[in-house]
Amino acid sequence: MESRFQPVILASQSPRRKELLARIFSDFQVCPAHADESLTPGFTPKQNVACLAQRKAQAVAQHSDCQALIIASDTIVVCDDVILGKPENEADAVRMLRALSGRTHQVMTAVCVKTPERELTQVSVTDVTFRTLRDGEAEAYTATGEPMDKAGAYGIQGMGGLFVTGIDGDYYGVMGLPICMLHEMLWQVGCDAGTEKQKG
């Protein structure tokens, strides 16, 4: 069975998500979502990240072909119930990295899959443990620029991986797109993405 949804649209500007979605679909469109990314007071971190992914999917759906399959995602880092999004500036990045030093935090990535008939949202949660950072390490890492477009101010797939002593959960969820969970969700909405790449 082939996907009956055309086209497949990734509602994201993230190069990591594009790279990871290419493991499932060989052909898809990329359409960055312009959605309100403010948090909702009173929501848990899980509810907030789910809501952000839904907003991104809905924003792109408004301008899309009626048979489109839209995939949107949002990633947050949660440390002691405090949500860390992308750092606002270098000082903010250093502050986040120091908060994560020597501790275990959660990375939550929500995925929203939207078809003409259905909208399905799920959240992947992964525990990530950082070793204790030495004096000056947070500043030196921030100066590389790598933290600036990433939730929690680090990239596990880059030099940020040097801080990680272990993870419990989905590595790809930490990177921004949990491909195993997404693949299962695609089945649930009636898109047979198969185990081999197919045309979107």
For the annotated catalytic residues, the residue numbers are 74
Helix or strand or coil: residue 73? strand
**Interface with ligand TTP (CB under 6 A):** 12-14, 16-17, 32, 73-75, 77, 86, 107, 149-152, 154-157, 160, 174-176
CB of 47 to ligand TTP, least distance (A): 16
Least separation in angstroms between CB 189 and ligand TTP? 19
Separation between Cα atoms, residue 97 and residue 38, nearest integer Å: 22
Q: How far is the CB of 50 from ligand TTP (least distance, A)?
A: 12
Is there a contact between 84 and 76 (Cβ–Cβ < 8 Å)? yes
Are 174 and 126 within 8 A, CB to CB? yes
9 near 69, Cβ under 8 Å? yes
Q: How far is the CB of 49 from ligand TTP (least distance, A)?
A: 8
**Residues 141, 122: Cα–Cα separation, whole Å:** 32
Strands 29-30 and 104-114: unpaired
d(CA 178, CA 17): 9
SS3 category, 143: helix
